[in-house]
Amino acid sequence: MGTSDDRVHGTMILSQNEWMKMRRRHMLKIGIILGSTREGRVSPQVGAWVKEIAEKRRDAEYEIIDIADFKLPFLGEPGGDASGVAAWSEKVAACDGFVFVVAEYNHSITGALKNALDFLRVEWNNKAAGIVSYGSVGGARAAEHLRGILGELLVADVRVHPALSLFTDFENGSVFKPKEVQADSIHQMLDQLIPWSTALKTIR
């Protein structure tokens, strides 16, 4: 006899733990990519906040992916240490969609993020992405630049774009204290990202 916690799957009776494991295997995997590697960066604070909000939804598996951990060399640089490239490729390939945490430097994305994007090709293809940016004007110019790059990589970027101001969402430009309305913006972005990621998974 099965218990009330059992689930019927085909002709099998699955325990609650087995059912949860199966569910996790089929859940979308969304990578929250930290797009800055500079000393003193605030992207880890922003990424942790996004992940905290996202995980409460229970609609996907969310993981922070820090490009600084892979120590990628400049693409095409002779003699560069490329030992982290394979791990970077594997990590991106395993994701069904992305949330890019983007800092605006000189009206654009960081060199580190552009380099990390350029290292791969097919691993990005036919996936969806949301953008969370920050800067003096909410990182809007960097986000728009990133949209063009993502299009070339066959990444479908969703419309809703949480934009964080260094003046109103950070204290002294370094301690992240977002306005309450920003959490609503994250949910609206994810409300678009999850169905797009689900749909695109069917064509890969």
In this structure, is residue 145 part of a structural domain?
yes
CA 10 to CA 145: how far, in whole Å?
48
Please identify every stretch of the chain with a pLDDT value under 70, giving residue numbers as ranges. 1-14, 16, 18-25
pLDDT of amino acid 18: 66
pLDDT of amino acid 12: 53
- Interacting residues of 19 by C-beta distance below 8 A, sequence separation 6+: 6, 7, 9
pLDDT of amino acid 87: 97
In this structure, is residue 4 part of a structural domain?
no
The secondary structure of 6-35 as a DSSP string is -EEETTEEE-HHHHHHHHHHHS-EEEEEE-
Range of the domain at 31: 22-201
In this structure, is residue 190 part of a structural domain?
yes
Nearest to 92 by CA among 66, 59, 110, 112: 66
CA 48 to CA 167: how far, in whole Å?
20
pLDDT of amino acid 15: 72
In this structure, is residue 114 part of a structural domain?
yes
pLDDT of amino acid 108: 97
pLDDT of amino acid 21: 60
In this structure, is residue 8 part of a structural domain?
no
Say which CATH number the domain at 169 has. 3.40.50.360
Tokens of residue 21, six digits: 């494991």
pLDDT of amino acid 98: 98
pLDDT of amino acid 175: 97
- Each residue of 110-155: pLDDT tens digit? 999 999 999 999 999 999 999 999 999 999 999 999 999 999 999 9
In this structure, is residue 146 part of a structural domain?
yes
pLDDT of amino acid 79: 84
pLDDT of amino acid 1: 45
In this structure, is residue 16 part of a structural domain?
no
Q: Domains in the chain: how many in total?
A: 1
